[in-house]
Amino acid sequence: MRHISATDAKQRLAALLDAAQREPIVIRRQNRDVAVVLSAAEYDRLRGLNVAQFQEFCDRVGRKAAERGLTQKKLAVLLADDDAPRARAHRR
């Protein structure tokens, strides 16, 4: 991955955009990485990958929960507003 200073990026924007079509370019300011310029195609690929990985994670967690006995009814109880039961308990 190439690095370019923020000043160079500003002065050579067209060349930076062309280079980003081939590989991501890291922009540095004061010796710190502050941004990455990458092609729209690479951005779409990465975004799709993240969505797919998140979906796989959710599916895996759902399967494990079902294997351990979690049902829709039990889930609804877990997700229900906890304030109501506590309020009733305090009144006793």
Q: Are residues 13 and 25 in the same domain?
A: yes
Residue 65, domain extent: 42-80
Per DSSP, 23 falls in state S
Encoded amino acid at 56, one letter:
E
d(CA 82, CA 13): 54
Encoded amino acid at 17, one letter:
L
What local confidence, expressed as pLDDT, does residue 75 receive? 87
Encode the chain (92 residues) as per-residue pLDDT tens digits: 899 999 999 999 999 999 999 999 999 999 999 999 999 999 999 988 889 899 999 999 999 999 999 999 988 988 897 665 554 555 55
Q: Count up the domains in the chain and report the number.
A: 2
CB 42 within 8 A of CB 24: yes
d(CA 29, CA 4): 9
> Does residue 46 fall inside a structural domain?
yes
> Does residue 63 fall inside a structural domain?
yes
CB 64 within 8 A of CB 58: no
Domain at 26, CATH number:
3.40.1620.10
Q: What's the chain's average pLDDT?
A: 89
> Does residue 23 fall inside a structural domain?
yes
Predicted model pTM = 0.58
* 37 backbone dihedrals φ, ψ, rounded to 5°: -105, 125
Q: Are residues 56 and 69 in the same domain?
A: yes
